[in-house]
Amino acid sequence: MSIITKNVTKIYGKQKALNNVTVEIKTGEIVGFIGPNGAGKSTMMKIITGFIPQTSGEVSVDGYDVVEQSMQVRQQIGYLPENNPLYLDMYVKEYLEYVAGLYNLKNKTAPRIKEMLDRTGLVDEQNKKIGALSKGFKQRVGLAQAMIHNPNVLILDEPTSGLDPNQIVEIRNLISEVGKEKTVMLSTHIMQEVEAICQRIIIINKGNIVANDYTQNIQTQTNENFQTIIVEFNKEIKAKQLEAIKGIVKVIKIKNNNWLVQSSIDDDVRTNIFDFAVKNKIVVLSMQKKEKSLEDVFQELTK
């Protein structure tokens, strides 16, 4: 149930929203698709789900072409669009029956609805109007409708946006749970989200893919040539003194006797800093290597 895009470009009028995007999402993966607003995430998802056509390039889901074999693709895909459009005047169960009808589930309708209500924790809400539900519960309805036909692929466009912290955790757990048996592509601009649930990350910026790797590899991918160290001395020193240390390429004073230094990663500059301190009768109160967060990587790649 892989998703493959080859050189996909989308142009809206004069606006190029996607530029030659080539990615592959393998069966069973949970992939985070992240990028700032306007990066092209929703556009990519609309193309994969067959809602809008690409301008050029090819997209296939489980080997089916999204344009030529749209019906087969739609049977494989569950889609939670951005902002989760729902019919607020319908009752939860009634709405799921309606969606089941669209997928022509026939005699499977009742057991599928029961399963969805169970899985998404909506049993007690099934007879409520959707408009009366909290945002977190509306999101569960969105997930239930996306999964009603038991698709193998889930495309979730910002599934946790607008939720409060507790609801975010609930929905993330739900996605992790269903992701065990499905291929999932989820978009977000929240870094902790991809760290929490995704094995792989695709970062998109202005329609271009700028990173595509396993979550743990992404952090080490950028700016590899620099090591950042934060050091505190027991007395005042001058920036010039630090700059003179072998391997140090950049020196920033944080506050008082706290310094941030960058070095080329080849030489572990910590030994040199220590030698410098001993030689000058300065005490190193603390020294630590600053690990790069996913947040830092995201900013570096998309600024």
Within positions 39 to 98, which residues make up the interface with ligand ADP, using CB under 6 A? 39-43
Using CA atoms, how far apart are residues 28 and 179, in angstroms rounded to an integer? 7
- Site map 18..57 versus Mg ion, x via CB under 5 A: -----------------------xx---------------
Q: Which listed option, ligand ADP, Mg ion, none, makes contact with residue 165 (CB within 5 to 8 Å by class)? A: none
Q: Supply the angle between the helices 109-119 and 135-147 in degrees, to the nearest 10.
A: 140
The position carrying tokens 């006797």 is 257
Using CA atoms, how far apart are residues 303 and 301, in angstroms rounded to an integer? 6
Using CA atoms, how far apart are residues 158 and 149, in angstroms rounded to an integer? 21
- Using CB under 6 A as the binding rule, whether residue 37 contacts ligand ADP is answered as yes
- Site map 68..87 versus Mg ion, x via CB under 5 A: --------------x-----
CA dihedral 272, 278, 280, 285 (to 10 degrees): 90
CB of 142 to Mg ion, least distance (A): 15
Using CA atoms, how far apart are residues 303 and 292, in angstroms rounded to an integer? 16
CA torsion through residues 190, 194, 195, 196, sign = positive
The residue number with the shortest CB distance to Mg ion is 42
CB of 205 to ligand ADP, least distance (A): 9
For strand 226-233 and strand 284-289, is the pairing parallel, antiparallel, or unpaired? antiparallel
Q: Which listed option, Mg ion, ligand ADP, none, makes contact with residue 17 (CB within 5 to 8 Å by class)? A: ligand ADP
CB of 26 to Mg ion, least distance (A): 24
Of 104, 140, 143, the residue nearest 124 (C-alpha) = 140
DSSP 105: -
Q: How far apart are the first and last CA of the chain?
A: 33
Of positions 35, 50, 136, 159, contacts ligand ADP by CB under 6 A = 35
Of 79, 107, 78, 114, the residue nearest 93 (C-alpha) = 114
Q: Which two tokens stand for residue 259?
A: 């310094």
Within positions 94 to 123, which residues make up the interface with Mg ion, using CB under 5 A? none
- Using CB under 5 A as the binding rule, whether residue 205 contacts Mg ion is answered as no
Window contacting ligand ADP (CB under 6 A); options: 7-15, 142-150, 168-176, 238-246 = 7-15
- Where does residue 251 rank: exposed (0-12), middle (13-18), buried (19+ CB within 10 A)? middle
Using CA atoms, how far apart are residues 301 and 278, in angstroms rounded to an integer? 39
Q: How many CB atoms are located within 10 Å of the residue 76 CB?
A: 18
- Using CB under 6 A as the binding rule, whether residue 12 contacts ligand ADP is answered as yes
Window contacting ligand ADP (CB under 6 A); options: 11-19, 114-122, 221-229, 237-245 = 11-19
CB of 2 to ligand ADP, least distance (A): 22
Q: Which listed option, Mg ion, ligand ADP, none, makes contact with residue 37 (CB within 5 to 8 Å by class)? A: ligand ADP
Of positions 7, 26, 27, 38, contacts ligand ADP by CB under 6 A = 38
Q: Which listed option, ligand ADP, Mg ion, none, makes contact with residue 38 (CB within 5 to 8 Å by class)? A: ligand ADP
CB closer to ligand ADP, 21 vs 269: 21
Using CB under 6 A as the criterion, which residues of the chain lie in contact with ligand ADP when the complex forms? 12-13, 15, 17, 35, 37-43
Using CB under 5 A as the criterion, which residues of the chain lie in contact with Mg ion when the complex forms? 41-42, 82
